[in-house]
Amino acid sequence: LKDEDIPHRTKLRAAIIEQFQVYFNQLKTDLAASVSKISFTADVWSSFMMKPYLAITAHWLEQLPSG
């Protein structure tokens, strides 16, 4: 393994942000095409070290592709 095999932190950061944007845009498309209401749930908790966490989930129905 050589130094040039490991991406620079700025390149890695840009790749992560780009992938997040692709995923987020697909999620928006999926939610807009929902054939039902969208239900959200949330949960909050803290670790033993008092680090806070928040989890949010969404549930929806999609139209099955024909064929």
Helix or strand run (H / E) with residue 12: helix 9-32
pTM (whole model) above 0.95: no
Per-residue tens of pLDDT for the chain, all 67 residues: 888 889 999 999 999 999 999 999 999 999 999 999 999 999 999 999 999 999 999 999 998 888 7
Could you give the dihedral angle defined by the CA atoms of residues 16, 17, 19 and 23, in that order, rounded to the nearest 10 degrees? 130
* Bridge partner list, 59: 39
Closest CA to 58 of 33, 29, 19, 27: 27
